[in-house]
Structure 1
């Protein structure tokens, strides 16, 4: 079993992000599709989408519940926003899976899960999307989309080498059918178990986040602070990782950079505003400067 390597700027400079040159169009910068939101939590898709654009993606699409789509389109004019059928509980209708599966063929990375409600509907949508998705997009699975993955292993195998999971302790406990206390007692062990079981890069989020590849390589990142434990923070992390994958970074590279950038953004906000009380919506604006400084050795 490999030793755990710390994630820092020096490590990231040894695995640089793809460069984009003058004259490239927005498609070459990467296309991200965020599938998420609900009538009660429409803003989660906004947070993931904004983080994806700030992390360098060239094009953004958001697919969300129909009743919230017009408001989201006005709030984020940079995105193409599609309204989807809704369940009685206010979630995305799983019957939309076939429509979304075709849409996935035209993007480079997908975020699935932020702000989604109606657990049974999300499980069905996740299963059918993974089974039917066209193309070769990478997937970042977050929040409610993680809940039913133990029953999706045949579908997950279709996307081997293109999957990132971003659970916190409670979501990991449900994913592995373990008590939350057991996950909190051994977060690295839980991340290793999930990565091996599901064949994905896994981020076990926490005060010190653990990242594990399907092959068992492991990293730890203690960037960030308690201020990042705020509503919507995880949605921004999912968007960052998806954008870096869409730009052409391998899933492990995108994840290591994403976790570091997210934590460093929290550090800078804490320095500017104080350690408690900054908002998830403020995280994305910090990203371009941090990416530049890390790449240049600042």
Structure 2
């Protein structure tokens, strides 16, 4: 398949996502007297009859990243199972297609939440790309109107390939307001038509061009993860280990990012911090358990302590966000 992305030729400065950058860019901390409301409310939409665990992994990571309230929307067939696994969450059961995709009836169920959640993560464990895309496009205008920030992962990123019916034919989809996308090289190949080997050989121009064209913060995941923003800013993170290449690891990363967004971190900051926390959690687990064999469910356990260690802060601090030129 021929590429549908024009690769930029001009070089771009790359910012290392290291301890110095993170400590100069602290994530929002609630005041000592704060309650769960000011820590942010996150909605996780995902799961299916075959993959209920993905939404559990992502939702757990949201809370480990410091979000205060959690709502999960998943298929009716697994809603009770998810509720038992996540006693901290409100769980909503959605009607499902035989294909395991969600019915558009979900829009009416989720519409009242738009005004009450700070961030929404869509995608972990979802099936049926076309049905998921239709649901994403039906929900986006509502979340945009409510100023709810959106993270799209896994199957939900297929919304780029399945525009709404009223979208001009032949015109590539572009988000009205920036969202976060978290593809690995295989998913990026699917979304762009660029061969996976070409993406691995030159991830920077691919991430930059897609971020600009799609109006999204793009985290192109790999041993070296590159994070590009719509304005052309490029970050890179090298770290972690091969133990992170395990089923469910991406769901955890998406959940960490969504939890930070719910706390009030801008999209680019939440993505950089999420990638760094995820990698360092893998390093900590490898030190105790070995590089291979730790589980995705164990990654989230490391996040609270890492948040404080990296930032050099304690839970009682009331540090505020550094002012950044990009405010999404």
TM tier, smaller: over 0.9
Whether the 8 Å CA contact 2:67–2:260 is kept in 1: the answer is: yes
Q: 2:153 aligns with which of 142, 147, 155?
A: 142
Q: Which residue of structure 2 aligns with residue 95 of structure 1?
A: 105
Aligned to 1:244: 260
1:150-184 deviation line (CA, Å, top 9, x unaligned): 45497854323xx1100011111121122222222
Query: What runs of 5+ residues in structure 1 fail to find an aligned partner?
Result: none
Q: Give the alignment's TM-score, normalised by structure 2.
A: 0.86
- Does structure 1 conserve the Cα–Cα contact (< 8 Å) formed by 2:134 and 2:162? no
The correspondence for 2:81, drawn from 68, 71, 87, is 71
| Contact 1:262-1:283 at 8 Å conserved across structures | yes
Please identify which structure carries the higher helix content: 1
For 2:7, the equivalent position in structure 1 comes to none
Superposed counterparts of 1:50-61, under 5 Å: 50-61=60-71
Q: Between Structure 1 and Structure 2, how many residues are aligned?
A: 296
SS across alignment from 1:293 = helix
SS at match of 1:206: coil
The worse-fitting range, judged by mean Cα deviation, of 114-123 and 127-136 is 127-136
Q: Residues of 2 paired with 1:87 and 1:118: CA distance?
A: 9
Secondary structure at the aligned position of 1:283 is classed as helix
Partner of 1:182: 198
**Does the 8 Å CA contact 1:148/1:175 hold for their aligned counterparts?**
no
1:289 paired residue number: 305
Match 2:248 to one of 224, 232, 235: 232
Within 1, Cα distance between the matches of 2:276 and 2:163? 29
1:256 aligns with 2:276: no
- The 5 A counterparts of 1:14-93 are 14-93=24-103
Can you list the C-alpha shifts for 1:22-75, whole angstroms capped at 9, x where unaligned?
A: 221101001000000000001111001000000000000000000100111011
- The answer to whether the Cα contact below 8 Å between 1:36 and 1:64 also exists between their aligned partners in 2 is yes
- Residue deviations 1:206-250, cap 9 Å, x none? 011000111111111012110000000000111111111111111
1:113 is matched with which residue? 123
Residue 89 of structure 1: how far off its partner (Å): 1.7
Q: Which residue of 179, 197, 202 corresponds with 2:213?
A: 197
Report Cα offsets for 1:245-296 as digits up to 9, x if no partner: 1111111111111100000000000111000111010011100111111111
**Unmatched runs of 5 consecutive residues or more in structure 2:** 1-10, 168-172, 315-328
Q: Which has the larger radius of gyration?
A: 2
Quickly say closer, same or farther: Cα 1:199–1:224, change in 2 above 3 A. Answer: same
RMSD: 1.7
- The 1-side partners of 2:251 and 2:64 are apart by 13
User: What TM-score do the two structures reach when normalised by structure 1?
Assistant: 0.95
